[in-house]
């Protein structure tokens, strides 16, 4: 269980953040100067060098989005120009990509961040540039929403595995539907029939909350409050749920911790959007009655599971049911050990989870639950205090990664195992590096009393 430091304040992380952004700039430049883009998008490192290996180009937006976040944090215009140019040159295929569930990763991280910076006054206003980013986000949200499976009582955005497959991490792609909706867009089907992007986003969130999250209510023998399944399988002929499954986790009956983190962050940031909406009813949805209750319940559950199933310093092992964890003894009551002989940690889950903890905590503080909100916020700060320092912060001058000890796909054996080690360690993933930067922006703005960072600050 995380040993929550109740004395930490955001300002206590200021010096670590300064060092973090210095190292971040070095890593971005290392990749830009040394990576061969003709091989595909960089996904994760092997012996400190980024390499391409993925099912889709799902990390390209994280690379260019990191450049944009670097500018956001430091004001260094070279990074803005780099990220903006790369977005315009390379990201167009992602806007209309019908074969993936990753629009909320690729397009919100690039076009979304650029539009946000224009709206915040950090990029000089240009009408055509604003309209360009807005159009990209409109189309992206609609294309993502078209990847749809109808089930009993709703539906979901299906994964690249096919119409039967609901991934827990797709929750974060609901951001693309929300942004498109905010920009006044709809998905049109046969006969010019309009389909509400917001309604599809809510239906996907409900499916995730109902099938990907467990609440200790006896769904199966492994039903524990806050446990998540990476994948939920449905019979597409009759719309019935069939079973939990895992692609990157150990099994459908254990919790892949990065999937857990996606749920924590996704629910928390989408709760913030619904909480910001002025209207009591949108498209027939009563927000306080129909939406926020199930989302807050799901967010609490996954955040509680993370706190209870992490080592004391807040960095998780790659799966809560990894088969050799028992060989490590009482591993939850000591700091995570990325150099052990049995199971790897996955540091990339930590910044994603920390953002979820901080956002949910703030929401609860604002809405009358100060004690519970404080607990989540302090847990998030405890995680950041760990990962913004060694052995997780990458200080090697030639290592291209920023956050060390990330794991990509343990079951497939894709992660590099150093000589003399029995498990993967010492490497980075583009998603982990990006989300470390994203949560660093979040906490830096809190420290500096700057505008609160949200994905939807575009209007």
pLDDT per residue over 323-359, tens digit each? Answer: 999 999 999 999 999 999 999 999 999 999 999 999 9
Query: What is the Cα–Cα distance from 291 to 285, expressed in whole angstroms?
Result: 8
Q: Which residue has the tokens 């990476």?
A: 230
For 378-399, write each residue's pLDDT tens digit: 999 999 999 999 999 999 999 9
Mean pLDDT of 266-276: 96
Mean pLDDT of 365-384: 97
Average model confidence (pLDDT) for the chain? 96
With 0-12 CB in 10 A as exposed, 13-18 as middle and 19+ as buried, what is 289? exposed
The reported pLDDT for the residue numbered 282 is 74
Mean pLDDT of 100-104: 96
Residues 6 or more apart in contact with residue 75 via CB below 8 angstroms: none
Residues 6 or more apart in contact with residue 297 via CB below 8 angstroms: 209, 215
Spatial CA neighbour of 307 closest among 369, 236, 361? 361
The reported pLDDT for the residue numbered 281 is 63
Mean pLDDT of 441-448: 98
Mean pLDDT of 106-132: 97
Whether residue 213 is predicted with pLDDT greater than 90 in this model: the reply is yes
The reported pLDDT for the residue numbered 360 is 98
The reported pLDDT for the residue numbered 288 is 85
The reported pLDDT for the residue numbered 280 is 64
pLDDT band at 244 (very low <50, low <70, confident <90, very high): very high
Mean pLDDT of 217-239: 97
The reported pLDDT for the residue numbered 279 is 73
Per DSSP, what are the bridge partners of residue 148?
Answer: 157
The reported pLDDT for the residue numbered 125 is 96
With 0-12 CB in 10 A as exposed, 13-18 as middle and 19+ as buried, what is 157? buried
Alpha carbons within 13 A on the beta-carbon side of 318? 27
Coil/strand/helix, residue 26: helix
The reported pLDDT for the residue numbered 123 is 96
Whether residue 300 is predicted with pLDDT greater than 90 in this model: the reply is yes
The reported pLDDT for the residue numbered 53 is 83
Per DSSP, what are the bridge partners of residue 442?
Answer: none
For 41-92, write each residue's pLDDT tens digit: 999 999 999 999 867 899 999 999 999 999 999 999 999 999 999 999 999 9
Residues 6 or more apart in contact with residue 28 via CB below 8 angstroms: 66, 67, 70, 79, 82
Report whether the peptide linkage leading into residue 391 is cis, meaning its omega lies within 30 degrees of zero.
yes
The reported pLDDT for the residue numbered 48 is 98
pLDDT band at 409 (very low <50, low <70, confident <90, very high): very high
The reported pLDDT for the residue numbered 284 is 76
Mean pLDDT of 301-326: 98
The reported pLDDT for the residue numbered 287 is 84
């Amino acid at each position: 269980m995380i040993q929550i430091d109740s004395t930490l304040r955001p300002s206590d992380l200021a010096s670590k953040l300064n060092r973090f952004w210095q190292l971040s700039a070095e890593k971005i430049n290392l990749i830009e100067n040394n990576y061969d883009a003709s091989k595909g998008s960089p996904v994760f490192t092997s012996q400190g060098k980024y390499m391409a290996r993925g099912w889709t180009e799902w990390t390209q937006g994280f690379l260019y989005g990191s450049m944009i976040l670097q500018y956001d944090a430091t004001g260094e215009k070279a990074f803005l120009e780099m990220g903006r140019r790369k977005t315009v040159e390379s990201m167009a295929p992602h806007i209309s990509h019908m074969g993936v569930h990753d629009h909320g990763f690729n397009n919100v991280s690039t076009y979304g961040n650029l539009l946000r910076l224009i709206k915040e006054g950090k990029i000089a206003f240009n009408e055509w540039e604003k309209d360009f980013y807005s159009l990209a986000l409109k189309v992206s949200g609609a294309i993502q929403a078209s990847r749809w499976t109808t089930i009993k009582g709703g539906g979901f955005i299906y994964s690249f595995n096919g119409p039967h497959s609901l991934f827990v991490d797709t929750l974060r792609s609901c951001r693309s539907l929300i942004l498109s909706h905010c920009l006044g867009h709809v998905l049109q089907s046969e006969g010019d029939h309009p389909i509400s992007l917001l309604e599809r986003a809510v239906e996907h969130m409900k499916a995730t909350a109902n099938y990907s999250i467990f609440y200790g209510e006896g769904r199966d023998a492994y039903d524990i409050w806050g446990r998540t399944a990476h994948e939920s399988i449905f019979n597409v002929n009759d719309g019935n749920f069939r079973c939990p499954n895992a692609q990157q986790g150990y099994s459908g009956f254990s919790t892949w911790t990065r999937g857990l983190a996606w749920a924590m962050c996704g629910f928390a940031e989408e709760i913030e959007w619904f909480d910001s909406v002025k209207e009591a009813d949108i498209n027939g949805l009563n927000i306080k009655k129909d939406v926020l209750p199930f989302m807050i319940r799901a967010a609490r559950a996954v955040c509680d599971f993370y706190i209870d199933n992490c080592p004391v310093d807040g960095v998780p092992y790659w799966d809560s049911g990894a088969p050799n964890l028992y060989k490590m003894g009482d591993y939850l009551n000591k700091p995570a050990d990325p150099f052990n002989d049995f199971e790897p940690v996955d540091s990339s889950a930590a910044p994603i989870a920390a953002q979820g903890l901080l956002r949910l905590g703030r929401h609860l503080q604002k809405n009358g639950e100060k004690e519970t909100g404080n607990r989540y916020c302090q847990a998030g700060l405890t995680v950041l205090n760990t990962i913004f320092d060694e052995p997780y912060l990458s200080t090697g001058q030639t290592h291209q990664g920023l956050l060390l000890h990330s794991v990509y796909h343990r079951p497939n054996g894709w992660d590099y195992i150093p000589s003399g080690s029995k498990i993967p360690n010492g490497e980075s993933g583009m998603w982990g590096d990006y989300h470390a930067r994203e949560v660093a922006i979040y906490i830096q703005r809190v420290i500096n009393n700057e505008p609160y960072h949200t994905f939807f600050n575009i209007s």
